[in-house]
Chain A
């Protein structure tokens, strides 16, 4: 393994996470916050860190069915995240629309607008499931580095 490859493997141990709420009911957001804040789950152990600025992020967690009002803002924030990045759709809403499907006000599924890489279904998914999704996202991220 060359030095660069080894450094890349080291780099994947520091995925910084950014959350985008695209009109979510806050259920998934609470579970995402739970991952970091509750000692029982503690994602910081895996090197993860929630960052305040999209410019610092590596993995984007998007929750919510993408309401029509937030589409423009969400796309702009998404473009602010530097490459290489990985997108994770958290909850059934961004994946299929879930309970809000076929509403005139939502644009789900979000893979029409964002290059989604990993889906974590659940309403909301439990924190362990989100951690599992992040682990899969890290694998994809390693391929893109």
Chain B
């Protein structure tokens, strides 16, 4: 099928050239890449970064690229797994240090990553999240190996405290020789450019997306005669749960028909529980605890209003999900949130209890008067805004651009490190880069690349996944899976003695 399509495309290309139009090769047949996504955060961990990586990979596979994912082992989940459409995931045996981030010595992951990059013939290494140590490690080694590198930043950092000064320095070092950086919002871009002291031209803005089919409205699930506010977020300080704890009693005392549903888990759950106990709101404030991704929609559709109280946010997926389910969104005006939804779908408030309460009360009054947009209308507006296909298309452009660039040679890289990252950190990391290079030479001598066999492609232009899966579906193929005798060590010995 893929070949057929290609043929078709070639035909049209031919026709076009005959017609006299001269499309550049790049625009028409975009080159196929072999991409390795690297991050510490992947399934079974759940969150924004995780779903971003997964969905983006799926859409890139759909567009004919080869994609693999590298992450660290999660408990029993180690080794190689295949996900939908032949997405290959490496769960590497690295020690987890803190918050699902691996510990690093910078060098120990080189042999493993080199093995993967060589075996899979990777051309572009795409790292995700600045919190992920593995992602930075992979960038570092990929540059040493002369691969193209792309980095996606999902979070915002301040500049004020000691810890952010240090992490920003590391980010500067890590990004100064990275080919391209992707941010999820314009605010995030500004932040990353400042933190990494980067040329803004190599930073692209590609927003996250939401699968609109997963988040469809269902007004029948709403409780009649009540107004329900839904909050879905991790219950941590950065999500402004303290503000929420202030809003709940204030509004609940004023509006007896107001209910809260709070999904998520975290250290700040105590605060909410204490408020609930103190004001005896057990029936009106439901704490659902940690939610699985597939449960989120069922919780969202029970509400009228989606409340987000984050104190900082690069791109808030939650509000898009909420709006996609037809809820009126009320959110704090922080980070990239104002860029995400059009003004008529979101009420932006200052991050104070007072302002949020005012915003909520305005919405409540509208809801009572029936002046709010219908859930279906909101859904229809939102569903075209952010799609993964669009994200993949735009990311592909970044890859095309990166593939044309020249990777810095070691001396250029050292120069870049020494002169753009400050005298101390620059020297240290230049030294580390030299060590990494020497280690790579040693590895090349120990295990030459020509000795390493190449992995069979599951995805990409020569992907075998489709060829495998086709006969599997036919009844004839079933015999293969069925014909194994369970609980016996089936040894087929090849001698024909009767």
Do A and B share a complex? no
Residues of B within 8 A of A (CB): none
Residues of A in contact with B (beta carbons under 8 Å apart): none
